[in-house]
Each structure stands twice: as structure tokens, then as C-alpha cells.
Amino acid sequence: MKREFLFNLILLVLINLLIKPLFIFGIDLGVQNRLGEDYGLYFALLNLAYLTQIVNDFGIQSFNNRHISQHPYLLPKYFPNLLALKILLGAAYMLITLLIAWFALGYEPAVLPLLAVLLFNQVIVQMILFLRSSISGLGRYRLDSLLSALDKLLMLVTCGAILWWNVVELSLMSFALAQTLALVFTLLVVWLSLRSLSRVPVRPSWASNWRAGRPAVLMLFRQSIPYALVVLLMFAYTRMDAVLLERMAGEAHAEVYAGAFRLLEACNMFGYMFASLLLPMFARMIQQKEPVRPLVSLGFRLVWAGSVTLSTIIFFFRNELLTLMMPDRVTPERNDVLGVLIWAFVPVSITYIFSTLLTARERMMEMNRFFLVGIAIDLGLNLLLIPGYFALGSAIAAMATQIFISVSMVWLSVKTFGFSGGGRVVVRSLLFLCWMLLFSWLIRHFLPLHWGYQSALCGFAALPGVFVLKVIDLRHLKKHNNQSDSGLFLRNESAD
């Protein structure tokens, strides 16, 4: 399983490195630079669409991924009922969110058509993820990896036609509709891919006889509720900042936060790739009573080394990166916001690993208790800090909340699975962080080179660090049997 995980991780990284950064920095950033403060409204509405995502998904994607991974033969039974529920929930999601925006948050009616398009886009996105969860649940990880960036590849064409070739006038609405076109085509391709693997029916069992099919629908809802709460609470503490900032401080400050958040989101796609690969693998290993520690260990080592290295580089060269991204709009506030917010990438990456493990073990209710506390921390810090610090206050709130959540997920995983042997990895992980900070500071201030060469050297400095400090052990990576790990994060303690 470790071999399959590594192969598909490399495949995912290569595909997404080629395509998704082009959309984030070529398209999305270009739109922000062209539209200016208006982009702050788009960013706030998009985050509002995420906040009500529970209605759209209701945990169906995670439920489907886990259960189909463990019982692939149940796909024809589950799929038509879940598909019908997804369509009904998508319609309810759009209606409820529009009502919240209009009556509760006070958005003007002129804004609602743009929000409606963004909501429809999220419905299509969730449908794509649902279909892909069936593909990965069938064990076709490589096909799922190939499909993972198709939507962004098509958006490069549709959105690029507006931004670069002026096919139609650029506006928030035309940008959103260009994404709609790409998403609909992606949905068609993913659907045809699934149909080539399994001739799944599409008519739900309760379509002709609601009375007979009602127990199955209610069962699916009951089993999806814990997953739905995870979706709701995770989106709440990660997406609340932008909405609060826009409502309390205005579009201009939300736009500043959006610039920094874009880099964080670009980094987070690597953590999400880990989670999307690991969930069906963890679920299948738990079902077959295989030890999960080797895969957890490998996942943690990779995300720690990668997230610390990337966060350190962005932190030390944030001014140059912002100047490259938005040459005429760099301010000290943008610099400070990015300098704080980018460090949230490290705890977010850790959370991806351990929350996925806990989801596979169906420990959602325990996770949700910590997520509720995280929401309270994020809300309280935002209300306290936004009036005085604006976007910087939201960045501080986000980082503090993510640290709390990541520590909670690690603690809960150790308690649930009885992991041991993590003391040394804490020391080694902190030493690696110090290593990166020290070498990056020395390179930044004492090597008279162009910042591009300096940042590359900082990246290369990570290589001796991960191996000297044994954050990643080459001998460990060569061992693919389950006995290669006797501790949570480390090799056999006697070998140290």
C-alpha cells in the first residue's frame, strides 16, 4: 500500500504542479489584478458558498469513498440513491444560501445572480468529487489522479479566453460563467469514466415507490450525518475569516486577505492530495485489519518536510513574491498578512493526514468536538482582532485556529490507535524547523544573489536537513512490508 501511495502521490503532484498553479497564478491572480477591490466581493461570496457546503454535500462524498473502498460490490446499490440525494441537496443548498445572503447578511439583490452562479459551480464541483470518490473507492487511484486536475486544465482555456484573448468583457460574472463551462465538461468526462468501470444504475430505488424506498434513504442520511458535520465545521473555521472580514471591514481588506490566502490555498492543494489518496487506502486497511502506522508515518514525514520547507521559503521571500504577483499593489499590510498566514500551511497539512485517518476509523463525533472549539476560537479572535488589525487580525486568527486543530487531531489519533514512539519525532521535527529558519535567514541576508537563486538554495537546504535529522529515512522508504515501522513516526527505536 505504501508503494501504491507513493506512486500515486508522485503522479498527483506532477499533474497538479503542471496545471493548478497556472490557474491560481495565471488566471485567478490575473483577474484580481484586473478587477482590483471588486475581487474582494467575489472572494467573500465564494467563501460564503463554502460555509454552507454541508447542505450541498452532507458528507456523502466521504461516506461513499469510505464504504465503497471497503465494499466495492455495494456501488450499484448505493450509487443511484446517493446521486439522487446529491441533486436534491444541491438545489436546497442554492436556495438556502441565497436566502442567507439576502436576509441574514444583507447583500444587495444585484449581487445575488453572481452568488447563484458560484453556488451552481459548487454543486457541479461536489458532483465531480462524488463521482471521483466512486472511482477511487473501486481502487482506481491512478485514474482518479489523472482526473483530479481536469477542471483546472479546462478553466485555463475558458477563463484564459476572457482574460488573455478578450473573447468577452472581463467581469466577475463572466469569470464565474467561464468556470461553469469548464466544470460541466469535466463532469461529463468523469461520468463517462465511471460508467466505463461499472455500469451503475442512475434510477434510485425510491423513485417509483417512496414508501418502500424511504428506509434506505433515511439510513443513508443517518450514516452521512457525522460526515456532514465534519464538512460543516471544517469549512466554518477555515472559510469564516473572509466573510467576517468583508462584512466588518469592507471589500478592500477582504481583497488584501485574498491575495495572501491564494498562496496558502495553492500550497494546501498538496495536503488535499494526500487526504484524497489516503482516505480510501486507510479505509481499506482498517477493514482488512492491516496496521496503518507505516502509512501514517510516511504521510506525516512527507507533509512535515514539505510544508515547513515551502512555508519558510514563502515567509522569507514574501515581498518578492507579492511584487511578482501584483507589481503595483504591494503594501506593508499585504506583506504582514502573508507572513503570518502562510504558517497556517504547516498545521493544515498535519490535519489532513490525521483527520483523514480518523474519518476512515469513523471517529467523526470526537473530531467534531474539537472543530466546535476551533470555530469558537476563530470567531472570537476575528471579532477581537479585525476592528484593530483588519486582514492581519484574520490571518492571526486563522493560524491560531489551525494550530489548535492539528494538535487536537494528532492527540485524538494517538488515543484512538494507541500509537507510541512519537517523542523523538517531535524533537526531530522541531529541529528541522529550526534548521530551515536558520539556513534560510543566513542565505537571505548574507548571500548576495538574486532572490530566485536564494529561494532555490533554501529549498536545497532542506535535503540535508531531512536526512541528517532523520525526518525522512531512506532505509525506511525502501521497506515496504508492515514490519518496517514499530513506532508512530520513527523507525524501530532500537535502530536509532
In tens, the pLDDT along 232-271 reads: 778 788 888 988 999 899 889 999 999 899 899 888 887 7
Cβ(391)–Cβ(257) below 8 Å: yes
Handedness of CA 248, 251, 253, 256 (dihedral sign): positive
CA 350 to chain centre: 12
Which pTM was predicted?
0.75
**What secondary structure does DSSP assign to 9-73, as a single string?**
HHHHHHHHHHHHHIIIIIIIHHHHHHHTTHHHHHHHHHHHHHHTHHHHHTTHHHHHHHHHHH-GG
CA 242 to chain centre: 16
Query: CA distances (Å), 462 to each of 117, 345, 467, in order?
Result: 43, 17, 9
Rounded Cα distance, 486 and 493, in Å: 8
Q: Is 420 left (phi over 0), alpha (psi -120 to 50) or beta?
A: beta
CA 290 to chain centre: 27
Task: Give me the pLDDT at residue 30, please.
Answer: 92
Q: Is 320 helix (H, G, I), strand (E, B) or coil?
A: helix
Task: Give me the pLDDT at residue 223, please.
Answer: 73
pLDDT in single tens digits along all 496 residues of the chain: 556 666 666 766 777 677 878 888 889 999 999 998 889 999 999 999 988 887 887 777 777 777 777 777 778 877 888 888 889 899 999 999 999 999 988 899 999 999 999 999 999 999 998 898 888 878 787 788 788 889 999 999 999 999 999 899 999 999 999 999 999 999 999 999 999 888 787 777 666 666 656 676 677 677 777 777 777 778 788 888 988 999 899 889 999 999 899 899 888 887 777 777 787 788 888 888 888 888 898 889 889 999 999 999 999 999 999 999 888 888 999 999 999 999 999 999 999 999 999 988 989 889 999 999 999 999 999 999 999 999 999 999 999 999 999 999 999 999 999 887 677 888 889 999 999 999 999 999 999 999 999 999 999 999 998 888 877 765 655 554 444 333 343 333 333 3
Rounded Cα distance, 375 and 244, in Å: 13
pLDDT digits (tens, 9 = 90+) for 112-168: 999 999 999 999 999 998 898 888 878 787 788 788 889 999 999 999 999 999 899
Which one-letter amino acid corresponds to residue 75? L
Would you give the DSSP letter of residue 266?
H
Rounded Cα distance, 257 and 26, in Å: 18
Residues contacting residue 159 through CB under 8 Å, at least 6 positions apart: 23, 27, 31, 175, 178, 179, 182
Contacts 24+ apart (CB under 8 A), 442-447: 444/316, 444/317
In 170-311 the beta strands, taken as DSSP E runs, fall at none
Task: Give me the pLDDT at residue 7, please.
Answer: 67
Cβ(37)–Cβ(255) below 8 Å: yes
Task: Give me the pLDDT at residue 1, please.
Answer: 56
Which one-letter amino acid corresponds to residue 91? A
Rounded Cα distance, 230 and 144, in Å: 23
